[in-house]
A and B are shown apart, each in its own frame.
Chain A
């Protein structure tokens, strides 16, 4: 039985195309991936991301616990700040990529829907000896993403948002707000490469908040968006998707996430292995590529060198809507990862030339 978010009835009533994703019944698109993608790049789009996991970590040792189980330096987060981080195995494999928000008396961590149970069990099993309380808030809270260059203006112009200072909420910060008569938290975070907000509110009134967010501005100012556009937007902005660019069989250095590893903080799970990988350098690297030949690379297609040897695979590939050409991300040996290097993507058995280019394909436009 697939799980449903508090917005399920809204999605169905609005004619969204529903698909299975990570055990959830989720909208893949409303009006179409292309119009939704372009709306987020040029105006504003609204996503239901309630399927993501939300855990609270509280108690005296919450900071030292998070220092131990994640790769980033949690001690640098001030109250109201947030940051990207990883959970790694002892071997340095990536269990999940997560977002950590520091609230006044607890931490809120947001994890991938498909990893919710795995992360929960991992965190529980590693909490022995720490004075921490873990609580799964995933069912109790809903979560939306309002993203796009117009998101701030549209949200701040809402009657209930006048004069509350949302426009001065800094990048990656979170605060309590009252919106449309309901209380919740708003963070200036997202997964699209655009400015925008992630909104946390009680599941009980999530449908009303959703309706109000869709009514911002004039009709059509905010387009409801599905997971299809979420994927193409994050892909262009060079943001990893768990299960594609990162898995337990990939390490952060080859995934170009070395910046999330703080080796100079106290001991943490995976530290020794990661130190080793950093010292020797990763043997393969995630690269971005464009097609030289005609074709669209898709996830899991093999990559061959020009002599025909299998050297890697595509992690994500699609016709990038903003860049207007087929692009891809994939793993290749480190010595074939330089910009300009050519290789072949095997598209339905046909060797199709591709060339390494700079990532991100689309330079994010965050408000910092």
Chain B
């Protein structure tokens, strides 16, 4: 099975993506992650203004089968959330890099630990071999 992994994005090992836009960035979960979860039926996102250290849990995503944490890819402050996803999570499955975006953030720390598309694809490939 192959997954969409756009080259222009940065990736966290925990399956979030980050797209830098000026001094802000947009965050969501990867195509691999949405596929592994199955149909998302519930989403919990933080409040605007909340701050998180890289690796901290910023939200919860649930499918019928399981519940998973969402992790901050970098040190960040929330400047906007995608409200519409709270009532309708379908875009997370249908368009994870587009209308499935979750957060608009202001990075407050380094993004150097994030992976490029090739490195993230390698992680996904290793995980799929299990």
Using a CB–CB distance below 8 Å, which chain A residues touch chain B?
15, 28-29, 32-34, 37, 228, 231-232, 294-296, 298, 318-319, 321, 326, 348
Instruction: Say which size band chain B's interface belongs to.
Output: 10 to 19
Closest Cβ of chain A to B67, distance in Å, is 6
B65 near A33: Cβ-Cβ < 8 Å: yes
A32 to B62, alpha carbons, bound, how many Å? 14
Chain B residues closer than 8 Å to A232, beta-carbon distance: 64
Q: A34-B38, A34-B39 are in contact. Are A294 and B44 (CB under 8 A)?
A: yes
Chain B residues closer than 8 Å to A228, beta-carbon distance: 38, 64-65
B64 near A37: Cβ-Cβ < 8 Å: yes
Closest Cβ of chain B to A158, distance in Å, is 31
B42 near A326: Cβ-Cβ < 8 Å: yes
B60 near A318: Cβ-Cβ < 8 Å: no
A29 to B63, alpha carbons, bound, how many Å? 13
Sorted nearest first, the 9 A-B pairs with minimum C-beta distance are A319-B41, A34-B39, A33-B64, A296-B62, A228-B65, A32-B38, A296-B42, A232-B64, A318-B64
Among the listed A15, A294, A295, A318, which residue makes an inter-chain contact with B65, where contact means beta carbons less than 8 Å apart? A318
A296 to B42, alpha carbons, bound, how many Å? 8
A326 to B42, alpha carbons, bound, how many Å? 9
A279 to B42, alpha carbons, bound, how many Å? 43
Chain A residues closer than 8 Å to B65, beta-carbon distance: 28-29, 33, 228, 231, 318
30 pairs of residues in contact across A and B, judged by CB atoms under 8 Å: A15-B1, A28-B65, A29-B38, A29-B65, A32-B39, A33-B38, A33-B63, A33-B65, A34-B38, A34-B39, A34-B41, A34-B64, A37-B64, A228-B65, A232-B64, A294-B44, A295-B44, A296-B42, A296-B62, A296-B67, A298-B67, A318-B64, A318-B65, A319-B41, A319-B62, A319-B63, A319-B64, A321-B41, A321-B64, A326-B42
Q: A228-B65, A296-B67 are in contact. Are A348 and B60 (CB under 8 A)?
A: yes
Closest Cβ of chain B to A41, distance in Å, is 13
